[in-house]
Amino acid sequence: MKLYDFRHAPNPRIVRICFAEKGIEHTTVQVDLRAGEQYSPAFRAVTPRCTVPVLELDSGTRILDSTAICDYLETLCPEPRLLGANPEQKAVILSWHLWNQAEGIGAAGEWFRNASPLMKDRRRPGLESWGQNELLAKRGQQRCMLYAEQLEQRLQKSAWVGGDGFSLADISALVAVDFAKRMDFEPPAALTQLTQWHARVSARPGSAS
């Protein structure tokens, strides 16, 4: 199996942590998004979306989305479980995971893409050029705070984001919070459950991936 990755990007990190938690062997190819390698003819032949992660199976089949890749890894190697032990748990975990991607990574991404000089004319992934927008940068920053507050509320009710144990929902929430931190977002100290959960999840060996 070959993972097309970029070590500084959030969605590939979700997949890297799943690989590490499950101890699944694979090779990695770095696609340097800062250098524009996602637009190269060679990578466009891998995916017309020009995004990472992509998982290429030994059969040649390619999986083009982080959630689909994590689901595939779970089916291939069910232990340790990251998507629950039954359909109900899986649905709850996925509902939090998808929320983390849309509202956490999505918020930090909106801020990053509209504020960072690295992302000039790259407000959206893909070949089309989209100019940056100051209002969207501000909105992304505000959405990061809202996400952190809502995550705190979830963690007041549940020790883990997805329910009874560590899961994909904790992985994507960690990636979302760390991505926001790279934009100088610091969750307020009053968000105590979030702070404790973040320390607990960060201490797992796989989180260094």
Ligand X SMILES: N[C@@H](CCC(=O)N[C@@H](CS)C(=O)NCC(=O)O)C(=O)O
Choosing from 18, 33, 82, 175, the residue that interacts with ligand X (CB under 6 A) is 33
| C-beta closer to ligand X: residue 47 or 141 | 47
Task: Say if strands 27-30 and 62-63 run parallel, antiparallel, or are unpaired.
Answer: unpaired
Q: Does 172 contact ligand X by CB under 6 A?
A: no
Alpha-helical (H) ranges within 117-167 are: 134-157
Which of the residues 102 through 131 are near ligand X (CB under 6 A)?
122, 125
Choosing from 1, 17, 47, 53, the residue that interacts with ligand X (CB under 6 A) is 53
Q: Does 51 contact ligand X by CB under 6 A?
A: yes
Q: Which stretch binds ligand X (CB under 6 A): 65-73, 79-87, 91-99, 158-166?
A: 65-73
| C-beta closer to ligand X: residue 26 or 200 | 26
- Could you tell me which of 106, 93, 89, 86 has the C-alpha nearest to residue 10? 106
Q: Does 163 contact ligand X by CB under 6 A?
A: no
Number of CB atoms found within 10 A of residue 131's CB: 9
Q: Does 10 contact ligand X by CB under 6 A?
A: yes
Helical (H) or strand (E) element with 28: strand 27-30
| C-beta closer to ligand X: residue 122 or 154 | 122
Question: CA–CA separation, 140 vs 136, rounded Å?
Answer: 6
Token digits for 199?
């320390």
Task: Decide: 94 and 86 in contact? Cβ < 8 Å.
Answer: no
Q: Does 52 contact ligand X by CB under 6 A?
A: yes
Question: CA–CA separation, 72 vs 35, rounded Å?
Answer: 30
Contact positions vs ligand X (CB under 6 A):
9-11, 33, 38, 50-53, 65-67, 122, 125
